[in-house]
A = this chain, B = another copy of it.
Amino acid sequence: MKKFYNPTRSEWSEILKRPTQTVEDIEETVNQVFAEVKAKGNDAVSKYTELFDGINLEETRVSKEEVSSAEFQISEDLKQAINLAKTNIEKFHSAQKTERIEVETTNGVKCWQEKRPIQKVGLYIPGGSAPLFSTILMLAAPANIAGCKEIVLCTPPDREGNVHPAILYTAALCGVTKIFKIGGIQAIAAMTFGTENVPKVYKIFGPGNQFVTVAKQLATRHNVAIDMPAGPSELLVFADDTANAAFVASDLLSQAEHGTDSQVILVSNSKELIENVEAEVENQLNDLPRKSIAEKAIAHSRLIYTEDKNDALELINEYGPEHFIICAEDETFYTEGIQNAGSVFIGNYTPESAGDYASGTNHTLPTNGYAKQYSGVNLDSFMKSMTFQKISENGIREIGPAIKLMAEAEGLQAHKNAVSLRLKELRTK
């Protein structure tokens, strides 16, 4: 682990550098799959499922029988855990519902804002070694609360053509309307263009590898929105002497096990804590099944000592971490001062993994510095706000003259006419 003591501002950008991903070489593949899925629909999807997932599927849509038998393939304990998490996520996201906002800006000029659900959304859930059913909770539960009519889920089949029962169970539980055994680029393409059986959706959510990331980017050029740009997961901890070094180490490691490119940073005003955390990381690392991954992420992690708390805060805001843990006596200074972070975890008993699963907050968060301008997924991610206005005869009398002047000054005579005609008619009344 690299240590830095009171780094000067000019060194920050180097210290806080994230690994850059090159995507140029992937783009060609993605473009090709998109073109084929657009032109040939299901046939192209099948071709790439065979090529990338090694299985030839007659039917990509998961059947009702598969869904209902999934329930019996996972333990009661896990089901209860999933239900607890779902309840908390639903409580927190339901509370995010907003009322219609109405203002009479001028007498007779009523304006209001309302949020309405995005009618069709697509969720991508990666396959691979672990079934990420927790991400289904994070995406399908709010989509359901928002009122999205069609909630499509794509996830790659395994070599036997199956999907993990925990994924099927959670999807059904959260109101997913259609599940497809389609992975990778072809899944994103299928939801972008629609095929004979996969509906075209308006917005695609969910994590994935580099291919999926580039495919989601490309989808945005075909009238589809995406949740947010993706990057490696990251955690920044600010901890002082009141923190528990073993806890901090366990949080750093839980981030590090995500991938070799995971970002892990500890900022502290205590040299002792830094030393203790470093020792604890070494200690805990050895017992991890994903040690080889975590080890690599830890190798390029950073331990930053900063004496001055204003410097520490500024450095953290400059980085804009996806996950930000605060274990400090003066926690309010950091909670109030943090401007750029995805989700914030406060105190010794708030591990980052609580937010990953069950506290109720969403775990789909902006990485790669995007916390500076993007929200994490929340209820509004599944809705769009629309505005309405209704102007009375009196209202247009009040604001009409200003509209005419402004339209004239912008050289838009027809805009002016639309008001002039109405005012003229009102004069005859």
A376 contact set on B, CB distance < 8 A? 385-387
- Nearest opposing residue in chain B for A284, CB measure: B417
Stretch at the interface among A57-65, A270-278, A407-415: A407-415
A80 contact set on B, CB distance < 8 A? 402
Interface string of A85-129 (1 = CB under 8 A from B): 101100110011010011101100101010011110000000001
Given contact pairs A368-B223, A417-B253, A88 touches B106 in the complex (Cβ within 8 A): yes
Given contact pairs A356-B415, A399-B84, A405-B77, A203 touches B387 in the complex (Cβ within 8 A): no
CB-based contact B347/A390 at 8 Å: yes
- Answer yes or no: A340 CB below 8 A from chain B CBs: yes
Q: How many residues of A contact B (CB 8 A)?
A: 131
- Answer yes or no: A225 CB below 8 A from chain B CBs: yes
| Integer count of this chain's copies in the complex | 2
CB-based contact B111/A101 at 8 Å: no
CB-based contact A389/B361 at 8 Å: yes
- Nearest opposing residue in chain B for A80, CB measure: B402
6 tightest CB-CB pairs across the interface, nearest first?
Answer: A105-B360, A130-B411, A81-B402, A88-B105, A351-B418, A353-B415
- Answer yes or no: A246 CB below 8 A from chain B CBs: yes
A402 contact set on B, CB distance < 8 A? 80-81, 84-85, 357-358
- Answer yes or no: A401 CB below 8 A from chain B CBs: yes
CB-based contact B416/A113 at 8 Å: no
- Answer yes or no: A132 CB below 8 A from chain B CBs: yes
- Answer yes or no: A183 CB below 8 A from chain B CBs: no
CB-based contact A373/B410 at 8 Å: no
A211 contact set on B, CB distance < 8 A? none
- B-contacting residues, A312-365, CB 8 Å: 335, 338-362
Given contacts A130-B411, A202-B372, A254-B414, 13 further A-B contacts (CB under 8 A): A88-B399, A92-B111, A119-B339, A119-B340, A134-B410, A253-B414, A254-B415, A344-B386, A354-B391, A356-B403, A357-B406, A358-B406, A375-B386
- A54 → B minimal CB distance (Å): 21
